[in-house]
Structure 1
Amino acid sequence: MGAGSILSHCRPFLNRVPAKVEFEMIIGVPKEVKLDEYRVAMLPVGVEELTRRGHKVLIEVGAGLGSGLPDTEYASAGAELVLEPAEIFARADMIVKVKEPQASEWPMIRKGQTVFTYFHFAADRELTEAMINSGAAAVAYETLADDQGRLPLLTPMSEVAGRMSVQEGAKYLERPQMGRGILLGGVPGVAPANILILGGGIVGANAAKIAAGFNANVAILDINMDRLRYLADVMPPNVDVLFSDRHIIREQLRLADLVIGAVLIPGAKAPRLIEREQLKEMKPGSVIIDVAIDQGGCIATSRPTTHSQPTYIVDDVLHYCVTNMPGAVGRTSTFALCNVTLPWVIEIAQRGIEEAAHALRPIARAVNMFAGEVTNRPVAETFAIPYSNRFLP
C-alpha cells in the first residue's frame, strides 16, 4: 500500500481483516513523566487493533488517567497492565510515547529498540546525544511527512496549540496576570486588542481563526506567498495577511498587545525573528506566546517553561513558553493525536522499522536516528553531526 493512501484513508488499518505476521511485536506505552503532561500515546482501541493482529501491548498502570482513560478500559481491550516503566522498556520492541524521552528514561532505552514519539531534537543536544548513544531507532512524529510536505502527526497538536495560544494570551493579558489589562475583543467604544502572529502554518492559521472570533485586530505574517494568498481568501476581514520581513515585524511589534510565535522548519531549530532589543519597542504588559519553543523558540528571550510555572517577564513583556501546551487539555489532545498515530504504529508493528522505512517514505522521513547514526539531515546539520543516508538520499 502506498504512503498516499495511508495518509488519505485511515479506515483500511482499522477495518481490514487482521494480517498474519511472522513475528509478534511487543509495543510498550509508558506513563508520561514530563511535568504537567496528561496525554497518553495510545487509546484502548489502539490496543485492540494491535492485539487482533497478533501483537502484545504493555500499558503502564495509570498511563491514561490524565486523559480520563482508566486502566480497566485498556485491560478490556487486551492490554497487559505493567506497574513499572522499567519493565515496559525492558520488554518492549517498540516504545510509543507522546513527549520526548526524559533524562530519567534515557538509561532504559536500548540498542535495537524503536521509540516512536515527538522528539524535537534540534532544540536539545543532550537528548540528541543520548539517543545516538542508545543505538535505538528514534522515529519522530514531527518529521513524518508525506510527499506534499504535510505533517500529519504534527498537525493535530499544532491545531490544539494554535487555538490554545489565543486562550492563554487572553488570560495573561489580564492585569492580575501582569498583562496590560486588555480584553481581546474590546467593547463598544473601546478598541480591541492587536494580535501579531508570526507564521501562517497550522498553528498560525488556527490562532488567527480563534483571535478573529474574539473580534481582535489580527495580523498574520509569513514568507510563503502561496500560503498568504490562501490565508487572504479564507480569513475574515479583521485579519490582515502580510509578507514577513524585518521592517514589517518591527512595525507590528509596536502595535501588538499579544504576539504569537508560530514558525516551523520541520526537524530544524526555529528561526529567531525577534531580538532582545526589540522588546523595548513593545508596550509594557504585552504578552508573547512562543509556540515554537519546542523547536528552540523564535524569540531571543524565550526559554522553556511549564504549566506549573508558565510565565516570566523580560523588559516588561510577559513570556509564555510552555513546551507541551496541548498536554493541558489531555483528553482532547490524546484523542486527536492517537487518531493519526495509530495507522503508523500498526505499519511499524507489522513490518518492523527497517522494512517500514524502506517501503514508506513518510516513515523514512520520520526516522531521525538508527543504530547510532543520524538519519535526519536538519538534525545532523544543527549539531554538525555526520548524516547517514540509510533511508533517504
Structure 2
Amino acid sequence: MIIGVPKEIKNHEYRVGMVPASVNELTLRNHQVLIETQAGMGIGFSDQDYINAGATILATACEIFEQSEMIVKVKEPQAIERAMLREDQILFTYLHLAPDPAQTIDLVKSGAVCIAYETVTDDRGGLPLLAPMSEVAGRMSIQAGAMALEKSRGGSGMLLGGVPGVEPAKVTIIGGGMVGTNAAQMAVGLGADVIVLDRSIDALRRINMQFGSRVKAIYSTADAIDRHVIDADLVIGGVLIPGAAAPKLVTHEHISKMKPGSAIVDVAIDQGGCVETSKATTHQDPTYIVDDVVHYCVANMPGAVARTSTFALNNVTLPYIIKIADQGYRKALMQDKHLLNGLNVIHGKITCKEVAEALDFEFFEPTSLLS
C-alpha cells in the first residue's frame, strides 16, 4: 500500500503522523511511504532521517494526497486538505466530528474511508488511540491552569500549591477518566487542594485507591458541580462521551459566580467543550476572559509538547496502520471489531451513531457497507 504523511497545518501543530521508526516498520513490509518535505522538522526529524528509513520525500501536500492510498495524520483535516480527499481513499487520524458539521459534510462529500483514532476501542472498553493524548492533555492542563492563574495573564495571582502559611488553590476536576486522573496526579504533586467529580463509582473508587486522602473523589451531581465549580480557583473540564459532543456541565451562570481571576481549562474542547462559555483557541492565542474568569481552550494541547506526543501516539497507532496496510481496509475493519468502531464515515455514509445523532445525519451500520 502507498501511505502518505502530510505536514500538519493546524496552528502551532508540530506533531507528525509517523516518525522514521514507524516508516521503517512499513517499508520493511514492502509498503511505500510518502512524506511531505519537512513534515517532521517540528520534532527534530529531517527529510534525510525519513529517507534513511525508506520513505520518499515529496514537495507538497497535494502530491501526497494525489499519490497515496492511505493518509495518516494527527489532527483533523483542514478545509484545504479535505478538498484533496477522494473516493475510497483511507484517512486515519483524529476527527472529532460531533461538534464539527463543516468537516463532517466535507468528509461525506469526499467519499473517503475515514477512521477516527478517538473512537477505536479495546477489549477493556477503553480508547487506546486517544489514551496517550489524554494523558498528555491531562498533565498539561495543570501547567496551563497554573499559568492562567498568574496575574499577568488575567488570573488572581495564586500559586497552585501555596507556600508555608498560605493555603493552596482549590482545583476541581470534572471527569475521573484518563484526563482527570493525570490532571489530579499533577495537581497533587504541586500541592493543590484537589476535588474530582465523576458519575462512575468505579472511577471514583479508582481515584480513591490511587490518591487516598490527597484527592476528594465526589459523585457528580448538579449540586456538587454548583458547589465545587463556583468555589474553585481552577476548574479542569475532562468529560468525554466517545464520539459524541461533550455535555455542557459548567454553565454561564456558574462562570458568573466564580471568583474573579479564577481559571478554566476545558480539555474537552475537541468535542465541543464541557463549559458553556468555551470556544476553541490556539497555542498562539490560548486564553480569553469571560466574567473575569480566564478560559484556556486550546484544541490541540498535546501539540505544545510535540515530540513526546508524537512518539506516544505512534506507539499506539502503528499496529493499526500496519494492519490496514497489510490487509486493506475492508478486511482489517471486518476482522477487528475495535478498529471497526473507529470507522466514522465511508463512501458518503455516517457509521458512528454518536456523530449521526449529534449532527442529524442518517446512521448506517458499518458492516452493511463493508460486506
Equivalent pair of 1:215/1:238 in contact (CA under 8 Å): no
Please say if 1:107 is aligned against 2:83: yes
Alignment counterpart, residue 312 of structure 1, candidates 257, 265, 288? 288
Q: Does residue 269 in structure 1 map to residue 250 in structure 2?
A: no
The equivalent residue for 2:139 is 163
Residue aligned with 1:49, SS: helix
Q: 1:329 and 2:289 equivalent?
A: no
* Secondary structure of the structure 1 residue equivalent to 2:366: coil
> Is this contact kept in 2: 1:116–1:139, CA < 8 A?
yes
Residue 133 (structure 1) aligned to one of 87, 109, 112 = 109
Contact 1:375 1:391 in 2 (8 A): no
SS state at 2:311 partner? helix
Aligned-pair identity in percent equals: 53
1:79 shift after superposition: 0.2
Cα contact 2:340–2:366 (8 A) shared by 1 = no
Contact 1:364 / 1:392 at 8 angstroms: preserved in 2? no
Q: Give the Cα–Cα distance (whole angstroms) in 2 for the partners of residues 256 and 173 of structure 1.
A: 12
Aligned 8 A contact 1:260 1:290 in 2:
yes
Aligned to 1:204, what secondary structure does the other structure show? helix
Tell me the residue number matched to 1:14. none
Task: Tell me, yes or no, if structure 1 residue 80 matches structure 2 residue 56.
Answer: yes
TM-score by length of 1: 0.93
Change (3 A) 1:392 1:331: farther
Alignment of 1:180-259 (within 5 A): 180-259=156-235
Contact preservation (8 Å) 1:60, 1:81: yes
Is 1:297 equivalent to 2:273 in the alignment? yes
Does the 8 A contact of 2:266 with 2:275 survive in 1?
Answer: yes
CA displacement 1:292-336 (0-9 Å, x = unmatched): 000000000000000001011001101000000000111010111
CA distance in 2 between counterparts of 1:80 and 1:296 reads 37
**Alpha carbons 2:343, 2:366 under 8 Å: kept:** no
Q: Please state if 1:352 is matched with 2:328.
A: yes
8 Å contact from structure 1 (residues 141, 366) kept in 2:
yes
Residue 91 of structure 1 corresponds to: 67
Look up the SS of the partner of 1:260 in the other structure: strand
CA shift, 1:236, in A, is: 4.2
Output the aligned Cα RMSD: 1.0
Quote the Cα distance in structure 2 between the aligned partners of 1:375 and 1:75: 37
Amino acid at match of 2:274: C
1:202 aligned partner, one-letter code = M
Letter in 2 for 1:252: H
Where does residue 286 of structure 1 map in the other structure?
Answer: 262
- Residue type of the alignment partner of 1:181: G
Structure 1 residue ranges, 4+ long, deviating more than 6 angstroms after superposition: none
1:249 to 1:104, Cα distance in 2 relative to 1, 3 A: same
Q: In the TM superposition, what is the alpha-carbon distance from 1:82 to its structure 2 partner?
A: 0.5
Q: Is the 1:212–1:236 Cα contact (8 Å) retained in structure 2?
A: no
- 8 Å CA contact 2:174, 2:237 repeated in 1: yes
Amino acid in structure 1 at the alignment position of 2:100? D
- The question of whether the paired residues in 2 share the 8 Å contact of 1:89 and 1:109 is answered with yes
Whole-Å separation in 2 of the counterparts to 1:266 and 1:332? 24
The answer on whether the counterparts of 1:193 and 1:216 sit within 8 Å (CA) in structure 2 is yes
8 A Cα contact 1:196 1:259, kept in partner: yes
Q: C-alpha displacement at 1:147, in angstroms?
A: 3.0
Give me the whole-angstrom Cα distance separating, in 1, the residues matched to 2:259 and 2:368.
47
CA distance in 2, matches of 1:141, 1:352: 17
Structure 1 residues 316 and 355: CA distance shift in structure 2, 3 A: same
- Give a deviation string over 1:59-101, Cα, whole Å, max 9, x none: 0000001111111110000000000100000000000000000
1:57 partner SS: strand
Matches within 5 A, 1:24-39: 25-39=1-15
SS of the aligned residue for 1:108 comes to: coil
In 2: Cα distance, 1:39 partner to 1:390 partner: 30
Structure 1 unaligned blocks of 5 or more: 1-24
